Amino acid sequence: MEEKVVAVIMVGGPTKGTRFRPLSFNTPKPLFPLAGQAMVHHPISACKRIPNLAQIFLVGFYEEREFALYVSSISNELKVPVRYLREDKPHGSAGGLYYYRDIIMEDSPSYIFLLNCDVCCSFPLPDMLEAHKGYGGMGTMLVIKVSAESANQFGELVADPTTKELLHYTEKPETFVSDLINCGVYVFTPDIFTAIQDVSTHREGRANLRRISSFEALQSATRTLPTDFVRLDQDILSPLAGKKQLYTYETMDFWEQIKTPGMSLKCSGLYLSQFRINSAHLLATGDGTKNATVVGDVYVHPSAKVHPTAKIGPNVSLSANVRVGAGVRLISCIVLDDVEIKENAVVIHAIVGWKSSIGKWSRVQADGDYNAKLGITILGEEVTVEDEVVVINSIVLPNKTLNVSVQEEIIL
C-alpha cells in the first residue's frame, strides 16, 4: 500500500498583507507574480514533486471567488487536485490545520506537509520527507543557518547536531539563542491533530478551573486565547521540543520571507535563478539580432512584445501583454500586465503596476535596498509617467500621473 501525502499551504488573508500595499490593493498577495508565476505557485509546484501526492489545500481568509479561477487553472496545469478552504475566523497556524482536519484526512494520508505561502526557498520537499521517515518522529521542520544579527527576527532553535532532534524552540527571542531558524515548512504524521487537540483540551480545562477558583496564579498569558486558536510555534513546537517528537532538516539553499514589495523583487530574482536549474525553458534568451538582448535570468510572458533593440536583465520579469519600446533598458524589475514602456526609458530596481505607462526617455529607478521602505520604486496600478520624467526611490499610489520628477517620495 503506497503511503499517500497531502500538502496544506497557508495563504493568510486581506488584513495580513498591509505591508504589501499598494500592490495588494487589487490582487491577493499570494497571487502576486514572482518570476512570472503567482507567489503561491512556487510552493505548489514544489509539492508536485512529492511522490504519492494526493491533494493540495490552500487555507486562508480571502473570499473564495478571489482564488476560484487560479485554483481551477493550476489543478488542470499540474494534474493534481488543488482546493481552497476559507477559514471563518482566525484559528492560528495550527488551529487552521485542525479546523479542516476531516477534509485534510479524507484520503487517509500518512504524511501532511504544511507550508507558508510567503516563504521563498527551493522547497526540498522529497528529501525532507525521506529524512522525516528516517527520524520516526511526529514532525520535521525545515531550518537554515543565518547570521547571528538577523536570527532574532525569526523562530530560533537548538537541534541535536547528531540526531537532528529539535531540543529547544523560541519565537523571536530577545537574547541570542542560536543561528538556526525555522523556515516555516513542515511535514507531520497525522498525530499532529492529537497534539493540537491536546492544547485546546488543556486550555478548556484551565478555563473551567478558573471559574471555580480566583487564585491569581491561574491568570496566565493564555487566558485571552480562544480554545480553538492554536499557534504552531508557541503552542506546539516549544512545548514538544526535546521530547523525541520533532526533528529538523537543514537546507543549504536560499531562504527568504516575502513580507514587503522589496523582498518580492529579491525573491523573484531567486526564483529566476532557480529556474536555471530546474525550468530553464521558462527563461528568455536573445542577443539583439532577432530578439532583444537578454542578460542573466529573465522571464518574458509569451504575449509580451519587446523591441529587438531593448536590453533586459538580470532579474527581470515581464507579465502578459507588456510592450517594451526601442532602446529601453530594464534591470532588476517586475513589470506587471498591460504595461507600456516607451522608447529609451530605463527601469532599475522597480515594480511597475498593471496598466501603467512609462514615457520616452524617462527613468524609474531606486538604489535596490530590498529591506528599506523606499529601497525600490513602486508604481501602483494605472500610473502614468510622462516623457523625460525621473522617479527615484518612490512609491506612487494607483491612478496617478507624474509630469515632474520625484525623489524619495510617497505619492498619495
Could you tell me if residue 284 is inside a domain?
yes
Residues 108 and 40 in one domain: yes
Residues 43 and 169 in one domain: yes
Could you tell me if residue 94 is inside a domain?
yes
Residues 6+ positions from 91 with CB-CB distance below 8 Å:
98, 99, 228, 229, 230
Could you tell me if residue 412 is inside a domain?
no
Contact 312, 334 (CB under 8 A): no
Rounded average pLDDT per 10-residue block, the chain, 412 residues: 91 76 86 95 95 95 92 94 91 88 94 95 96 95 85 80 90 74 94 89 64 47 67 87 93 92 95 91 86 94 96 96 97 97 98 97 95 91 97 95 92 80
b vs e for 59-86, b when ≥16 Cβ sit within 10 Å of the residue's Cβ? bbbbeeebbeebbeebbeebebebebbe
Instruction: Enter the pTM of the model.
Output: 0.90
DSSP 285-297: --BSSSS-EE-SS
Could you tell me if residue 282 is inside a domain?
yes
Residues 245 and 273 in one domain: no
User: Would you put residue 48 in left (φ > 0), alpha (ψ -120 to 50) or beta?
Assistant: alpha
- Which CATH number is 329's domain given? 2.160.10
Residues 89 and 185 in one domain: yes
Which pLDDT belongs to residue 217? Answer: 45
Which pLDDT belongs to residue 214? Answer: 47
Q: Which of 257, 291, 315 is the last residue of a domain?
A: 257
CA 389 to chain centre: 33
Residues 234 and 247 in one domain: yes
Residues 191 and 320 in one domain: no
Give the count of alpha carbons within 13 A of 205, CB side only: 6
Q: Which of 206, 235, 257 is the last residue of a domain?
A: 257
CA–CA gap between residue 103 and residue 100 (Å, rounded): 6
- Which CATH number is 244's domain given? 3.90.550.10
Residues 285 and 201 in one domain: no
Residues 292 and 398 in one domain: yes
Which pLDDT belongs to residue 16? Answer: 58
Q: Which of 242, 257, 272 is the last residue of a domain?
A: 257
The total of structural domains in the chain comes to: 2
Residues 233 and 350 in one domain: no
Residues 248 and 283 in one domain: no
The helix, strand and coil proportions of the chain, stated in percent and rounded to the nearest 5, come to 30, 30, 40
Residue 99 neighbours by CB distance under 10 Å: 20
Which pLDDT belongs to residue 7? Answer: 97
Could you tell me if residue 283 is inside a domain?
yes
Q: Quote the domain boundaries for residue 284.
A: 261-407
